[in-house]
Amino acid sequence: MINNDSDNRYNQRGVSSSKDEVHQVVDKLDRGCYPGAFCKITEDLLTGNKNMRNVIHSDGAGTKSILAYLWYRETGDPNVFRGIAQDSIVMNLDDLACVGIWDRVILSSTVNRNARNFPAEALAALIEGTEAFIQTLQEFGIGVSSGGGETADVGDLTGTVAVDSCAVAIVPNNKIINNANIRPGLSIVGLSSSGQSSYENQENSGIGSNGLTSARHEMLSSHYRENFPETFDPQTKEEFLYCGPFLMQDSLINSSLSIGQALLSPTRTYLPVVKSIMAEIRDSVLGLVHCSGGGQTKCMRFGTNVHHIKNNLFTPPPLFLEIQRVSGTTDKEMYQVYNMGHRFEIYCEPEAADEIISISKSFKIEAQIIGRTEETARQNGENHLSINTDKFELNYG
């Protein structure tokens, strides 16, 4: 029987879609030189140049690495970890893009592994994947360099592998994008998360690197609970562990991908597109949002006195529809956990939207006006979000 209490199911796996408990602490700390920016920006303490600013950012592939581990154990192919390397890098770099950074970035990666379960060939594929993806970015004019990394054998902490990255950058003060400038009267252009861009070598399911704990357990069957106990927390109740109908090699309906391929689809970077857009019409762009943690509700953290209205979203890609079908997750929770079809938003003057869409499509990434901003309807001036489709209306904040 499907349990529709999706928030309970999500929390029962030891994860949080809103991270309210984190924000309650972090939001009280120093927010840096630009409190409304997507990333914390500080004075340039590295060189002391008053015209420059520093950004240091950390993120990772999350529990998507467990899916790669399952694929590796079933197929024997270690190259699956090359995609995990990309996931970890993109989750950092596309956040940096939201403050206008795509040059002079040094990247370092940390791999925490259980050496029994994650042997040398898998580690080699992960490291090689990191270097190969950095090379690909450089070919598209993205100024990213490798600063090395660390591999830690921590079998007592993890049963498989965790992959994280840290990016450090120096940026001219006059190049910073400050999302505090998001205001009423703007168009919101969304860049699709699925399909195949001109710089990808395979179809992308659109999943990114968020919500994978929930997706893995809702989609995959008890076969994985029974055979791979190292891939879950034994404190989690059995009813929330691998309770789906699929094996990884099963086909995903309405897609050319298998279930495993769709869940493992490498996180798409939007850096080549964003760099091109900003080179052409920077003055018309007021803000950039990477719809990562928090899915379609991420935008509420940015702007001043804003009612974010999203009333022309993309049709959700097949993987999201299937996750919702098999789990019974509510629409409200789905749009808070997953990107549901676009993972990057550009807040712009309305007259600039068509050019942004055209530039995105030149990279074979679909784009469209997905909404607009209006003045907040809250008496306290807080931001809020409305998502409207022909099937439902969702309100957040």
- Among residues 215, 219, 206, the alpha carbon closest in space to that of 251 is found at 219
Q: In terms of DSSP bridges, do strands 306-310 and 393-396 run parallel, antiparallel, or are they unpaired?
A: unpaired
Sign of the CA dihedral with 44 first, then 46, 51, and 53 last: negative
SS3 221: coil
Q: Let me know whether 311 and 266 are in one domain.
A: yes
- The domain boundary, picked from 176, 211, 233, lies at 176
- The domain boundary, picked from 159, 176, 193, lies at 176
User: What pLDDT is stored for residue 46 in this prediction?
Assistant: 86
Do residues 129 and 81 make contact, with C-beta atoms less than 8 angstroms apart? yes
User: What pLDDT is stored for residue 3 in this prediction?
Assistant: 41
For the chain of 397 residues, list the mean pLDDT of each consecutive stretch of 10.
49 60 62 92 92 95 97 97 97 97 95 96 96 94 94 95 96 95 98 97 96 96 98 93 97 97 98 97 97 95 96 98 95 96 98 98 98 95 96 96
Q: Let me know whether 138 and 149 are in one domain.
A: yes
Q: Let me know whether 316 and 382 are in one domain.
A: yes
* Tokens at 137, concatenated: 């970015």
* Tokens at 173, concatenated: 């003060």
SS3 253: coil
User: What pLDDT is stored for residue 2 in this prediction?
Assistant: 40
Q: Let me know whether 158 and 242 are in one domain.
A: no
Q: Let me know whether 24 and 57 are in one domain.
A: no
Q: Give Cα 295 to chain centroid, integer Å.
A: 8
How many structural domains does the chain have? 2
User: What pLDDT is stored for residue 21 in this prediction?
Assistant: 62
Q: Let me know whether 78 and 167 are in one domain.
A: yes
- Among residues 277, 262, 245, 349, the alpha carbon closest in space to that of 102 is found at 277
Q: Let me know whether 50 and 162 are in one domain.
A: yes
User: What pLDDT is stored for residue 280 in this prediction?
Assistant: 96
Q: Let me know whether 128 and 255 are in one domain.
A: no
Q: Let me know whether 244 and 119 are in one domain.
A: no
* Tokens at 372, concatenated: 């607009």
Q: Let me know whether 20 and 158 are in one domain.
A: no
pTM flag (> 0.75): yes
Give the CATH number of the domain where residue 93 resides: 3.30.1330.10
- The domain boundary, picked from 158, 176, 194, lies at 176
Q: Which residues on neighbouring strands pair with residue 113, listed in sequence order?
A: 153, 161
Do residues 125 and 78 make contact, with C-beta atoms less than 8 angstroms apart? yes
Domain that includes residue 140, residue range: 31-176
**How far is the C-alpha of 73 from the C-alpha of 333, rounded, in Å?**
32
Give the CATH number of the domain where residue 385 resides: 3.90.650.10
* Tokens at 180, concatenated: 């505090």
User: What pLDDT is stored for residue 14 in this prediction?
Assistant: 61
Q: Let me know whether 125 and 193 are in one domain.
A: no
